[in-house]
Chains A and B, each alone.
Chain A
């Protein structure tokens, strides 16, 4: 009933959220102030939670297809190598300073909001249910991060300068969110009008609006964009993230605590 496309798509969503959450967790204990430290840790936990739901569903379907039970959320997260990960390149980029991290969250959460907002209508009930739950979380991430983008962009000379730098660095990694792969389009079969191109337009409109309020330079939409993450071709950063994240399970297979 569910072809490989679904599993690939689930892994793409799961991997993106997991790597996002793993990256954000690096801030835990290092936030600029206690309150924001907790806020970003909450967001990290939200995205890891989303990843878990998608992994669990992917594991269930892989097992159903193979008639086994050896695939679990843990084997998917801990025992796949970088080239098998399908996460967006954006999510694996270094956190940089607070402003760069905030802008990365804003770009990603905005995209999630639009994608999940469509997925709640998909005929695949399991995916729709996860999207419905996640949508509330990412709506908050959007609000929280857009406030920060405006606060820092329209803040001091230094915060503005740092946001401009972050924007210049991150922008070329946003295009990949809207480059369609073969496993994506079948998920939206019900929505005749759906295309990543319309998502891109909605996303860009909203982002431009926020950047404008933040008094930041609007980047060119049709500039060069990096790609590859969705197909397993990653930056050098992912290997290091996985090395740290997967160490325990690789060194002590099946270890629990």
Chain B
């Protein structure tokens, strides 16, 4: 049975975001969600499921990783670590 590939995202009980957990084959979205339930939530991993057909996901090009990501390497000033926090501000 040749069926399209789907990417599965699960939100855990504590989590606020859906995290990518893997992929599976299914004929349609309903079947994909049911299969995701059976394959990826058997051990109480989640309370919500998203699926999206893999073909709808567009990815950055690994060959461009250098020009994409390396320039951020030496921009340490982008990290909010240079601010002096007043003593009154707690829990930061």
Q: Which residues of A contact B (CB under 8 A)?
A: 32-36, 38-39, 42, 143-144, 147, 151
Contact = CB atoms under 8 A, between A and B. Distances in A.
Contacts of A38: 35, 38-39, 42
B51 to A, nearest CB: 12
B24 interface: yes
A33 B1 contact: yes
A38 B24 CA distance: 12
Residue among A32, A33, A35, A39 having the largest count of chain B Cβ atoms under 10 Å: A35
Interface of B: 1, 3, 24-27, 30-31, 34-35, 38-39, 42
Main secondary structure of the interface of A (DSSP, over half): helix
A147 B30 contact: yes
Contacts of A151: 27, 31
Given A38-B42, A39-B35, A151-B27, 12 more contacts: A33-B1, A33-B3, A33-B25, A35-B24, A35-B39, A36-B35, A38-B38, A38-B39, A147-B30, A147-B31, A147-B34, A151-B31
A213 B34 CA distance: 20
A162 to B, nearest CB: 14
A32 B1 contact: yes
Contacts of B24: 34-35
B52 to A, nearest CB: 16
Contacts of A32: 1
Contacts of A42: 38, 42
A147 B45 CA distance: 24
A147 B35 CA distance: 12
A147 B3 CA distance: 16
15 contacts: A33-B25, A34-B24, A34-B25, A35-B25, A35-B38, A36-B35, A38-B35, A38-B38, A38-B39, A39-B34, A42-B42, A143-B34, A147-B34, A151-B27, A151-B31
Given A35-B26, A35-B39, A42-B42, A144 B1 contact: no
Nearest to B28: A151
Nearest to B36: A35
A167 B77 CA distance: 70
